[in-house]
Structure 1
Amino acid sequence: MGEPADRLTQLDGLRGLAVLLVVASHTAESVVPYGGVVGVTTFFVLSGFVITRALLDEAERAGRIHLGRFWLRRAARLLPAWTAVLVVVTVAVIVLADPIRGDLPRVLATVGSYTGNHARVLGVELGPFEHTWSLAVEEQFYLVWPLVLILLGVLARTRPRTAAVALCGLVGAAVTWRVVGTVVLPYDRLAYGLDTSAAALLVGALAAFAVRTGSLRGLGQIDLRTGRPSAVVLGVGGVGATLLVVLSVCTLPITVGSLPGAARWVETAAVAVAALVVVAGALGGAPALDLAIARWFGTISYGLYLWHYPLLRIEPGGDPSTGVVRLGLALVGIGVASASWYLLERPVLRATRSWGRHPTTRPAAGAPQRVRGVTG
């Protein structure tokens, strides 16, 4: 299947790297202790970037952001696989007598309403659905962020500098609160709160504005002689991607013992590193992420994130999986996620492709123009 002309394929590869770090951490935490927090943080930055880019594209094409179409597109992308997971895992919990079975109605009400992050802040056990806290954070962001963008757009029509300052101030406040929270908040409150997770999402959103408006021209984005990303962009992409892996493995705690608070600082640092890789990837500066295998894992990343954790977490009769069995279950998760993409997610997306289209293609007056070279 051909790629759309404006698709940022290196970001697909980054998505693939992120999901593999998460799966590796959940499969063998002693080997990849921070893969989960780094991978999820990278997903947040990516989501902020991609969603903001899509909304800005719609504003340019149609002269407005259509909230109904945006939310329909999100529903078509997310709900089919999510519904399948809810049904299958619920049946598995009942049949295999997982310990969470007695609390299943409460758990399903929580995860089904996308409030799992709040439950985890309060220390509520969600069993094989614990990983859905990050989906809840993103859904809550999807509800609020388009409204904020609309308000910023209205302000920008008459006072563009004020709108830019407001955007930067919002992102700065979120990042400041994240850093402060890293010091003063309990870990569950820091890790799962919407307000503390907003830093990663908003940094990604700011990156989308920066790439789109050409604010990064000082990096010499494209080498005019070769038409390729500049050495600076390539260096940022390569070093950033390497740092994400290093942060995830971080073998120092294994060799010298536990480092109190290490996870929270790794997660906070990952916001900045992931943002650098996202920007570099959007400018074509992370060629290693353009490998076909990385992009393929990025394609199935949503299904893989959904399915792998229940497979690893369900405890038949109260007995958790261990050793090589966990590796086998992780591989099964890849197979199930592949089936989910090819048999469910992709057909639904194709059938609903026209939902998000707007008949108007004329840019609104004063709308920002597409930045040459953005797609690499």
Structure 2
Amino acid sequence: MERGGRLGYRPALDGLRGVAVLLVLAQHANVPFFAQGGTVGVTLFFVLSGFLITSILRDERATTGRTDFRGFYLRRARRLLPALALLLVGVTAYLLASGQSLVDVLLTAAYASNLAGASGHNLGNLVHTWTLSLEEQFYLLWPLLLPVVARRRRPALVLAVVAALVVAWRVVLSMSGASVERIYFGPDTRADAIVIGCALAFALASIPARHLRLAAAVSAAVLAGLCAAPPESALAWLLPPITLASLVVVAHAARSAPKLLTWRPLVATGRISYGLYLWSFPVALSVESRDLPLWVSAPTIAAVSVALALASWFVIERPFQRRPVKAAVDPVDPVDPVDPVDPGEVVPLTSKALPAR
């Protein structure tokens, strides 16, 4: 942490975004041993999102004594809406040309795709936007709830308890026979990673950096192993270790800036991670429909996705970000949802698209 408690811009956190989105891309492209790469990548994005957004809001209140809601929401809109609008225009054109319904586009535009997915609706090319919906719901609620939580004696502990309750609720639903879609997409069953990231923003300064290095190495190994878990893995039991390991990795990246995560190509990948996330899934569906061998399809998916993400970054995203927004504080670079991710549903739309219960 910088003096005064402010986080400041950390290239390692962009590097971590780069790792997360590459894991998502690997699963989209059906790369061997990455059957759960997207699940790990999205969870990393969620933890990072909760941590950074909470840091932004806390720094602003510490500096000005208030939260600039208008500035916060305007920055989020400028960061996220233009690139999403471009994707929706492309998908709309495809659906109209093929005579299909625009319901999925409307659900995505309303940030309700996670609710639709939890009810069993398949959003096709836009199924991965469920994470954007969860993030947007977080953005809407958390700035209002944060002052209440921050007044608690131990806000990090309060948030950790909330995250534990989400995990317990997910297990209860799973054991009671709830559908995989209900568990996978539900905001009440997937909020734990974001909430634990919020808790980290309160607790990071009290965590000795020297204790994080070994824990982060072990956590990274755990995440690497869980990436290779079979697609039918039970989600209720797979997510807790992924979330805890992601928490440790994010904490280490924020405190110590590991050299690997500050590698320039990885940081650059993190900078375009939002566009890469948005485009990789529909690109993967399109390429896979041509029944190409893996050694052709995987590089094609990667190349086309990166090209579209770069175009999105330079033509759409960056110009909007450069427009000044009057705000008290914006101490860290805006987080990408997957922003994760920020951070979406990260597996092909087949019968194996969701983990089994």
Deviation at 1:31, TM superposition (A): 3.6
Identity, % of aligned pairs? 37
Matched, 1:171 2:163: yes
Moved more, 13-22 or 284-293: 284-293
Which residue of 310, 313, 316 corresponds with 1:341?
Answer: 313
Match of 1:215 in 2: 206
Coordinate RMSD, CA, aligned: 2.6
Match of 1:18 in 2: 20
Output aligned runs, 1:39-188, within 5 Å. Answer: 39-95=41-97, 97=98, 101-103=99-101, 105-153=102-150, 156=151, 160-161=152-153, 166-184=158-176, 185-188=178-181
Which residue of 174, 177, 187 corresponds with 1:194?
Answer: 187
Tell me the alpha carbon deviations over residues 172-193 of structure 1, each in whole angstroms, 9 at most, x when there is no partner. Answer: 3234334444544432111111
Q: Please list every run of at least 4 consecutive aligned residues from structure 1 whose deviation after the TM superposition is greater than 6 angstroms.
A: none
The higher radius of gyration belongs to 1
Cα distance change of structure 1 residues 30 and 122 upon mapping to structure 2, 3 Å threshold: farther
Secondary structure at 2:120's aligned position in 1? coil
TM-score normalised by structure 1 residue count: 0.79
Secondary structure at 1:102's aligned position in 2? coil
Secondary structure at 1:203's aligned position in 2? helix
Cα distance change of structure 1 residues 18 and 164 upon mapping to structure 2, 3 Å threshold: closer
Deviation at 1:322, TM superposition (A): 3.6
In 2, Cα distance between equivalents of 1:125 and 1:320: 21
Contact 1:128 1:314 in 2 (8 A): no
Quick one: which amino acid aligns to residue 174 of structure 1? V
User: Where does the alignment leave 5 or more consecutive residues of structure 1 unmatched?
Assistant: 222-229, 362-376
Cα distance change of structure 1 residues 41 and 176 upon mapping to structure 2, 3 Å threshold: same
Deviation at 1:29, TM superposition (A): 5.5
In 2, Cα distance between equivalents of 1:8 and 1:137: 25
Contact 1:33 1:249 in 2 (8 A): yes
Secondary structure at 1:123's aligned position in 2? coil
Matched, 1:206 2:205: no
Tell me the alpha carbon deviations over residues 341-369 of structure 1, each in whole angstroms, 9 at most, x when there is no partner. Answer: 122211211113x333369x9xxxxxxxx
Quick one: which amino acid aligns to residue 308 of structure 2? V
Output aligned runs, 1:216-295, within 5 Å. Answer: 216=207, 220-221=208-209, 230=210, 232-250=211-229, 253=230, 260-284=232-256, 286-295=258-267
Quick one: which amino acid aligns to residue 126 of structure 1? L
Contact 1:45 1:200 in 2 (8 A): yes
Deviation at 1:308, TM superposition (A): 1.1
TM-score normalised by structure 2 residue count: 0.83
Contact 2:12 2:254 in 1 (8 A): yes
Deviation at 1:237, TM superposition (A): 2.4
Cα distance change of structure 1 residues 91 and 166 upon mapping to structure 2, 3 Å threshold: same
Contact 1:177 1:196 in 2 (8 A): yes
Match of 2:338 in 1: none
In 2, Cα distance between equivalents of 1:89 and 1:304: 16
Moved more, 338-347 or 51-60: 338-347
Match of 2:303 in 1: 331
In 2, Cα distance between equivalents of 1:61 and 1:201: 24
Quick one: which amino acid aligns to residue 348 of structure 1? F
Cα distance change of structure 1 residues 11 and 187 upon mapping to structure 2, 3 Å threshold: same
In 2, Cα distance between equivalents of 1:280 and 1:55: 21
Contact 2:108 2:126 in 1 (8 A): yes
Contact 1:234 1:285 in 2 (8 A): no
Deviation at 1:166, TM superposition (A): 4.1
Secondary structure at 1:283's aligned position in 2? helix
User: Where does the alignment leave 5 or more consecutive residues of structure 2 unmatched?
Assistant: 1-5, 332-357
Moved more, 16-25 or 4-13: 4-13
In 1, Cα distance between equivalents of 2:100 and 2:94: 13
Deviation at 1:79, TM superposition (A): 0.4
Cα distance change of structure 1 residues 165 and 280 upon mapping to structure 2, 3 Å threshold: closer
Contact 2:120 2:182 in 1 (8 A): no
Matched, 1:8 2:10: yes
**Corresponding residue pairs, total:** 323
Deviation at 1:263, TM superposition (A): 4.4
Match of 2:348 in 1: none
Cα distance change of structure 1 residues 269 and 13 upon mapping to structure 2, 3 Å threshold: same
Match of 1:36 in 2: 38
Tell me the alpha carbon deviations over residues 138-170 of structure 1, each in whole angstroms, 9 at most, x when there is no partner. Answer: 1111111111102234xx2xxx42756644443
Quick one: which amino acid aligns to residue 208 of structure 1? A
Cα distance change of structure 1 residues 328 and 287 upon mapping to structure 2, 3 Å threshold: same
Contact 1:22 1:35 in 2 (8 A): yes
